[in-house]
A and B are shown apart, each in its own frame.
Chain A
Amino acid sequence: MTATTPLGFGERARAALADPGLARALLSIRRGWPEARARAIARLPEFDALRDHGREIKDHVLAHLDLYLERFEEAVRASGGEVHWARDAAEARRTILGICQRAGARTVTKSKSMIAEEIGLNDWLEANGVTPVETDLGEYIIQLAGQRPSHLVGPAVHMTREEITELFSRHHGTPPRERPEELVGEARKVLRQRYLEADVGITGANFLIAESGSVVTVTNEGNAELTHGLPKTQIVVASIEKIVPTMEEAFTLLRLLARSATGQEFSTYTTVVTGPRREDDLDGPEAFHVVLLDNGRSAMVGGELRSMLRCIRCGACLNHCPVYLAVGGHAYGSVYVGPMGAVLSPVLYGIEQARPLPEASSFCGRCEEVCPVRIPLPALMRYWREEAWRRRLAPPTARFGMRLWRHLATRPKLYRAATAIAMRLLALLAGRRGALARLPLAGGWTGTRDLPAPEGATFMRLIGRRMR
């Protein structure tokens, strides 16, 4: 477990809300992906049934994870590859650097991997004399900009076209190009050379197949294929929960993945690789390594967070989250953002550091509604809230407020009397405007919005009248 980033949600969220460029970018997610997803699902009547299958596959794997991992390792060996186990981020980084050094690597190409982000691989390689080059266009952009991804699927989704024009011109020494296809063409040319020079290619994995020791990658650009097809050494870095039993199960999950992520029927490139190049093959790596990362996951298997390990990283929970869509990914200060990040980040950084993330939820439940493998995200965020409470991590004023509320809520008569008084008082304070711009002790809430004043009687009184 490594904390490589400052979390600290509040300040970043405030800054994000004041950024008009970010607001425009987030608006384009809100208008684009959820609608595309809805259209794709409308075309596939079996989608909901597939979600049940997806959940069942993942639950079965998690209940037998030790056995499937051993089987996967055997199968990779049988195909001529090697498996390395890493308990934490530091061990994974050392293992990968070791492979790169033994291969005499000076540059490595990388195809988008959240696990590489999680272990902070780029900085580590760079510090040890190996130059990493991101090849997913979004990852390449944020690597040039010195940033981190703000979305699971679209890492540079927060950046405007103007910013990218300026960035490319500065780094490539080219005249500023404005049309997206010119910018894509320029990146294509620059990166093509990098692919051909690279000594090692590093990819993540969407699925690992226990049956055959295969690794499944999904891209739209074709960068994973050039990353594992051209260099002499291929390294796959993946977390242990990526295992599925057979190809058939992977393809059931793949029917869910692209539709949930971008609303595509299927991603442009789904590639299944098994071991190094075979005899007489004209391309493919000579050495094939898989680094399996635990980093806190084996502890989740036996606990209340097990269902989080079903996640297939589609990003649907981000695209439908009112909090994510307001503040964007960087506000979370973590590799994993949005609702899935609010559950996973406390595992990686500790709840002491990550406490604000599970708090930053309206509990509207849309994340659970759209999750392709039906992860109960609100319940898992609530788990962390309770955990934070038990560990007395909330500030004293919040704890005092909660205790006060509990005192009232467990005494119905007192509660009713207090709420009836409070309602009249609020209505009086609001006057004819019907809303309060400021309220003592609730400055955090009224600082950014008006509190509508209550009208009429309390719920208990209304229902009491009806029942009479």
Chain B
Amino acid sequence: MNEAKNEILTRLQRALVTDAEEERRRAVAARLFHHRPVLVPARAQVEGEARIALFTEMAEAVQTEVARLESFAEIATAASRYLRRHNLPQKLVAAPDPMLDAAGWDRQPLLRVRRGNAGPEDAVGLTLAFAGIAETGTLMLVSAPERPVMLAFLPETCIVVLPLSRLDGAYEESWARLRALSPMPPRAVNLVTGPSRTADIANALTLGAHGPKRLLVLLVPEPEAPVTEAGDDG
């Protein structure tokens, strides 16, 4: 196996190595460690309400439904209403992320909620986005034990919670935030722009090829500060 590696690299070196080898190595290091400013389209450089409007417009253009909620605790109610509107059973599986504990589940006693990963029998999955990207109406989902990936891929209906503080203009902003948390990316970063689709049969756009048929994004403010125990003011 190493023989193959050596042969491929030797062939490349024969074509590429110059007298200024130090320079070549420096150029590579520079690219890898100083992330170059790239061209970010002007469209993506919007703030505040204009950013929310752009995200909504771009997401709706690719069949994502977008709803804006007054509070984090309305999530359960909004999810329940959405399921009723689509004639789906009042049942979903939600990411075990502790942030979603404040989604107001107790306000919807008829909504059956399981916390964990989605299996093949689950019809509705609900998860939390790491970021939203206004440029193209894209969600950035980041894997973690409390946010398994399959929630957004196995069920036919997917609901994603996006706190407004996490809405960025361009992809690069979200990557910079993620890199600041850990230099090594998590196992999976899924950028999702609309429900699953295909045009492989007769060029007809059809939703729900393998992933979800329906995608609902709930734009929410941060959850209300949880009641902290005495002495814990962190």
Interface residues of A (CB under 8 A from B): 28, 32, 44-46, 49-50, 53, 60, 63-71, 73, 78-79, 84-87, 91, 95, 135-138, 141, 154-157, 160-161, 164, 180-181, 183-185, 187-188, 191-192, 196, 210-212, 214, 220-223, 225-226, 228-230, 240, 245-249, 251-252, 254-255, 262, 264-284, 292, 294, 298-299, 301-303
CB distance from A190 to the nearest CB of B (A): 11
Q: How far is the CB of A468 from chain B (nearest CB, A)?
A: 53
Query: Is A226's CB under 8 angstroms from B210's CB?
Result: yes
Total A-B contacts with CB atoms under 8 angstroms apart: 254
Contacts A220-B199, A283-B148 aside, 4 further interface pairs with beta carbons under 8 A come to: A73-B5, A87-B8, A262-B199, A294-B11
For chain B, give the interface size range: 35 or more
- B157 interface contact, C-beta 8 A: no
Which one, B42, B120, B188, B192, contacts A45 given CB within 8 A? B42
- Decide: B39 and A49 in contact? CB cutoff 8 A: yes
Asked whether, in the complex, the Cβ of A283 is within 8 Å of the Cβ of B149, the reply is yes
Cα of A54 to Cα of B8 in the assembled complex, Å: 25
Contact across chains for A70 and B9 when beta carbons are under 8 A apart: yes
B43 with A28: CB separation less than 8 A: no
Which of A45, A95, A269, A277 has the most CB atoms of chain B within a 10 A radius of its CB? A269
Contacts of A272 in B (CB 8 A): 185, 188-189, 191
Q: How far is the CA of A286 from the CA of B41 in the complex (A)?
A: 38
Instruction: Determine the residue in chain A with the shortest Cβ distance to B150.
Output: A283
How many Å lie between the Cα of A188 and that of B203 in the bound state?
Answer: 17
Contact of A284 among B35, B149, B179, B185 (CB under 8 A): B149
Among residues of B, the one whose C-beta sits closest to the C-beta of A32 is: B203
Given contacts A221-B198, A221-B209, A267-B193, contact A68 B28 (CB under 8 A): yes
Docked pose: A161 CA to B61 CA in angstroms: 26
Contact with A along B159-195 (1 / 0, CB 8 A): 0000000000001100100010001111111111111
State whether A246 and B188 are in contact (beta carbons under 8 Å apart), knowing that A160-B202, A283-B150 are contacts in the complex: no
- Min Cβ gap B65→A in Å is 15
In the bound complex, how far is the Cα of B154 from the Cα of A112, in angstroms?
Answer: 19
- Judging by beta carbons under 8 Å apart, are B116 and A282 in contact? yes
Is B225 an interface residue, CB under 8 A from the partner?
no
The interface bits of chain B over 124-159 (1 if a CB of A lies within 8 angstroms of the residue's CB, else 0) are 000000000000111000011100111001100000
B27: Cβ under 8 A from any A Cβ: yes
Contact B43 A301 (CB under 8 A): no
Instruction: Verify A229–B8 contact, CB threshold 8 A.
Output: no
**Nearest CB of A to B208, in Å:** 7
Contact B143 A211 (CB under 8 A): no
In B19-42, the 8 Å CB interface with A consists of 24-25, 27-28, 31-32, 35-36, 38-39, 41-42
Question: In the complex, A68 Cα to B195 Cα: how many Å?
Answer: 35
- Known contacts A71-B28, A222-B209; A281/B200 CB under 8 A: no
The CB with the most chain A CB atoms within 10 A, among B15, B41, B202, is that of: B202
Q: Report B174 CB to chain A, min CB distance, Å.
A: 10
Q: What is the minimal beta-carbon distance from B70 to any residue of chain A, in angstroms?
A: 30
Instruction: Report A237 CB to chain B, min CB distance, Å.
Output: 14
Bound: A223/B196 CA distance, A: 9
Closest residue of B by beta carbon distance from A196: B120
Q: Which residues of A contact B78 (CB under 8 A)?
A: none
A40 to chain B, nearest CB (A): 11
Subset of 13 A-B contacts with CB under 8 Å: A67-B25, A84-B1, A141-B201, A156-B200, A187-B209, A188-B208, A222-B212, A246-B36, A251-B171, A251-B172, A269-B193, A277-B187, A298-B11
Q: B202 contacts which chain A residues (CB < 8 A)?
A: 160-161, 164, 180
A269 to B191, CA, bound (A): 6
A44 contacts B185, C-beta separation under 8 Å: no
Residues of B within 8 A of A (CB): 1, 4-5, 7-9, 11-17, 24-25, 27-28, 31-32, 35-36, 38-39, 41-43, 58, 61-62, 116-117, 120, 136-138, 143-145, 148-150, 153-154, 171-172, 175, 179, 183-204, 206, 208-212
* Ranked 8 nearest A-B pairs via Cβ: A222-B211, A302-B15, A221-B209, A161-B202, A280-B145, A138-B200, A282-B148, A298-B11
| A266 to B41 CA separation, bound complex (whole angstroms) | 14
Name the contact of B12 in the complex, choosing from A65, A221, A229, A230 (C-beta under 8 A).
Answer: A65
Q: Tell me whether B192 and A269 are in contact (CB under 8 A).
A: yes
Residues A211 and B32 in contact in the complex (CB < 8 Å), given A269-B192, A270-B191: yes
Name B197's contact: one of A60, A221, A292, A299 (CB within 8 Å). Answer: A221
Q: Which residue of B lies closest to A140 (CB)?
A: B200
Which A residues lie within 8 Å of B195 (CB)?
268
| Bound CA–CA A154/B117 (angstroms) | 32
B201, A164: Cβ atoms under 8 Å? yes
Tell whether, in the assembled complex, residue A223 and residue B11 are in contact, meaning their CB atoms are under 8 Å apart: no
A271-B191, A272-B185 are known contacts. Are A141 and B35 too (CB-CB below 8 A)?
no
In-complex Cβ contact of A248 among B17, B36, B183 (8 A):
B36
Is there contact, CB below 8 Å, between B12 and A265?
no
Q: Which residues of A contact B136 (CB under 8 A)?
A: 265-266
Which residues on A sit within 8 Å (CB–CB) of B171?
A: 251, 254
Across the interface, name the chain A residue whose C-beta is closest to B153.
Answer: A225
Q: Which of the residues A60, A79, A135, A251 comes within 8 Å of B38, measured between beta carbons?
A: A251
A376 CB → nearest B CB, Å: 19
Q: Smallest CB-CB separation from B116: which chain A residue?
A: A282
Give min CB distance, B83 to chain A, whole Å.
20
Chain A residue nearest to B185 in the complex (CB): A274
Verify B210–A266 contact, CB threshold 8 A. no
| B187 lies within 8 A of A273 (CB) | yes
Query: What chain B residues lie within 8 Å of A251 (beta carbons)?
Result: 38, 171-172, 175
Give the chain B neighbours of A294 by CB distance below 8 A: 8, 11
The answer, among B43, B149, B201, for a CB contact under 8 Å with A180, is B201
B175–A284 CB distance below 8 A: no
Q: Find A225's partner among B144, B149, B186 (CB 8 Å cutoff).
A: B149
In the complex, are the beta carbons of A71 and B32 less than 8 A apart?
yes
CB of B148 within 8 A of CB of A281, answer: yes
